[in-house]
Amino acid sequence: MNTATAPLKKSFKAQMLEAREQAITASVNRLLSEKGFDAMTVDEVAAEVGIAKASLYKHFSSKEELACAAMVQAMQKAQAFLADLNQAEDPGSTQCVSLNKLMTTTRWVLQLKLAGEMPTLPSQNSSLRASLMASRPYMDGLMKVSDLLGSWIVQAQQEGFINSALPPLAVLYTVYARACDPVVEFLKMSELHTDEEIVDIIMTTCFAGLSARSN
């Protein structure tokens, strides 16, 4: 029997450590979505996972590392979603294929946000920014996601579906901003709209502003 190429089975200890890290990351993701980075505490994460704070620090040395792990997981989820979307055939809409993909991605992000599955990070935090920029998996994922979204934006502009006077980078940041749009929370708290109605409202206000208009 040739065992040269057989995959090495993880030890029970390694499997337990991996399962614990996944539980920690899931807890961080939920708390970041619910409370944000500034309000989340390491004690809350440890208590929710059911481990001692000292045990948590064996996996992640700081609050910034916890948030970074959650963002890496979110970025990996986004990469998988975009890869599937990029390979899918367009249903034959009269709209630009690239615009459809941008809108589908934005709708997906908003749905995750409403479901409490989208981590929320502050725009200004030097230590957190340093941790994210030092994370190779996060930065590589961010570049791949940005490159793909950017190519869709440029194509939609070339075909006249998005205002070509807008810098593509500004359009990209507008799409990214939907992941932390406070309007979503305000509409949710008003209890006047269903989640799907909230998504439709945000989609309309976002893409109506980006659309190409004749002078």
Question: Do residues 77 and 119 lie in contact, with contact meaning Cβ atoms separated by under 8 Å?
Answer: no
Question: Do residues 45 and 23 lie in contact, with contact meaning Cβ atoms separated by under 8 Å?
Answer: no
* Residue 87: per-residue pLDDT: 86
* Residue 214: per-residue pLDDT: 47
Of 142, 196, 135, the C-alpha closest to 172 is 142
pTM (2 d.p.): 0.82
Question: Do residues 113 and 199 lie in contact, with contact meaning Cβ atoms separated by under 8 Å?
Answer: no
* Residue 13: per-residue pLDDT: 72
Show the DSSP H helices in the chain as ranges: 12-35, 42-49, 53-56, 63-87, 97-114, 126-133, 136-158, 168-177, 182-190, 195-210
CATH number for the segment(s) 71-210:
1.10.357
Give the sign of the dihedral formed by CA 142, CA 146, CA 147, CA 148.
Answer: positive
* Residue 126: per-residue pLDDT: 80
Termini Cα distance of the chain = 73
* Residue 58: per-residue pLDDT: 87
**In the numeric block, which tokens belong to residue 67?**
């948030």
Domain ranges across the chain: 71-210
3-state secondary structure of 211: strand
3-state helix/strand/coil string of 149-209: HHHHHHHHHHCCCECCCCCHHHHHHHHHHHHHCHHHHHHHHHCCCCHHHHHHHHHHHHHHH
**Could you state, in chain order, the average pLDDT of each consecutive group of 10 residues for the chain (215 residues)?**
58 78 90 88 92 90 92 92 84 71 95 88 80 92 95 93 94 92 92 95 92 61
* Residue 156: per-residue pLDDT: 93
Of 58, 13, 63, the C-alpha closest to 37 is 63
**In the numeric block, which tokens belong to residue 114?**
């409403």
Distance CA 104, CA 109 (A): 9
